Structure 1
Amino acid sequence: MLNGVGGCTVAEAKANISYAEVLAWVAYRDKHGTLDIGRRLELSTAIIALQVNRSAGGKAEMADFMPHADHQALALEKAMAEWV
């Protein structure tokens, strides 16, 4: 049961999907981003928040409005310079 809505189980889907279909989904995800609706909504609201911030003279970055995004690690030297 797919999220209680219907369809096949994960095991059935894995058994029935072809390699070509997997490649098609990978290409779709590479072009359009994640399939996770929460992440897509977070990105959309971050874009709006960034535009509002910039129009008000702010210097925020996109990552500042995306708490669940994978952020790049801060270099030790840069962190020390910013925290002093």
Structure 2
Amino acid sequence: MSLVEFRQWVKYRNRRGSLNVGMRVERGVALLATLYANAHTKDGGYKIYDFMPHDAEKAVTLEQAMESWA
């Protein structure tokens, strides 16, 4: 694989996510579960990561944290 092709794949993964079919299916199902749970509960507030046991929410950067405090 050439360096150019590798960079194209990295760009694709950054934009579209994992190439793992199982993770893609899990994300799709989690999205549907999130929509359903938020629509049918009083409080709502569920995130997609609440329904994805094999993925975790990305850590907040210092800049994002400082922005949320303001």
TM bin, normalised by shorter chain, reads: 0.7 to 0.9
Q: Is 1:29 equivalent to 2:13 in the alignment? A: yes
- Percent identity among equivalent residues? 35
Structure 1 stretches lacking a partner, 5+ long:
1-16, 74-84
Whose relative contact order is higher, 1 or 2, with alpha carbons under 8 Å and at least 6 apart? 2
With the length of structure 2 as denominator, give the TM-score of the two structures: 0.72
Structure 2 stretches lacking a partner, 5+ long:
60-70
Per-residue deviation, 1:62:
1.3
Structure with the greater alpha carbon radius of gyration? 1
Q: Which residue of 2 aligns with 1:42?
A: 26
CA distance in 2, matches of 1:20, 1:54: 43
Q: Which residue of 1 aligns with 2:45?
A: 59
Which segments of structure 1 move beyond 4 Å, counting only runs of 4 or more? Answer: none
| Backbone CA RMSD of aligned residues | 1.5
With the length of structure 1 as denominator, give the TM-score of the two structures: 0.61
